[in-house]
Amino acid sequence: MSYPEGHREKVRTKIVDSARRLFNKHGFERVSVDQIMAGAGLTRGGFYSYFRSKSELYAEVLSCFFTDPNWQHCWEGVDVDLTATDAGMQVVQAYLSRQHFDDIENSCPMVALPCDVTRSGDAAKRAFEKVFHAMVNVLERSISRKTKERRARARTIAAICIGGMVVARAMENGRSADDLRADCMSAAMKLGGW
């Protein structure tokens, strides 16, 4: 029996989306292949026809809207146009938004998975670094001052956004988390000249 055109890619996307949600919520080690496949509405048997290992899938899950043009996870009221001249400002606002803070399952993997990445192999580290550099590139293009320190500013803004969200999510007090996100947004906007 043959499948319709595009079937294989649709199934692969379902597996990646399921893994992204589960890894973001529970971490790499606490998620099994069975759980990933069940979350995709599939059985374990098909997993290995798409991925050689859970680690290979993990590296693919580390993509996000900076590297994947088909990224579908946006948050209500938060739009990012990566081609706009003010894309950097949009990225900072989206990244440190309440929607991104609340939507753990669909958040950027750089927020949810950095500790897992440090314990993972080279493929996961390369994937994480690719996403980070893609974010830095978007920010750098939008920084108003065209100086040689522009790249350093972009890296710093990316680190403020990612680190700010990681720390905010670790806080029990919601008001403190909101204040931290606001402080990070203010600092990032100032560094970018926005």
Tokens of 86: 């003010």
Please give the model's pTM, rounded to 2 decimal places.
0.81
Closest CA to 42 of 17, 21, 15, 23: 15
Is the alpha carbon torsion for 80, 84, 86, 88 positive or negative? positive
Q: How far is CA 88 from CA 53, 73, 163, 178, in A?
A: 35, 18, 17, 21
Residue 91 shares a structural domain with residue 45: no
Residue 42 shares a structural domain with residue 118: no
Number of domains forming the structure of the chain:
2
- Asked whether residue 111 is assigned to any structural domain, the reply reads yes
pLDDT tens string, the chain, 194 residues long: the values are 677 888 889 999 999 989 988 988 888 888 999 999 999 999 988 999 999 988 888 878 877 666 666 665 555 666 777 788 888 898 899 889 998 899 888 778 788 777 887 887 788 888 888 889 989 999 999 997 777 799 999 999 999 999 999 999 999 999 999 999 999 999 999 999 99
Closest CA to 180 of 169, 192, 194, 191: 169
- Asked whether residue 29 is assigned to any structural domain, the reply reads yes
Residue/partner pairs of 106-110 with CB below 8 Å, 24 or more apart: 106/20, 106/21, 106/24, 106/73, 106/75, 107/24, 107/165, 108/64, 108/65, 108/162, 108/165, 109/20, 109/23, 109/24, 109/61, 109/62, 109/63, 109/64, 110/62, 110/64, 110/135, 110/162
Tokens of 68: 């994947």
The CATH number that applies at residue 103 is 1.10.357.10
How much is the pLDDT for 70? 61
Residue 54 shares a structural domain with residue 135: no
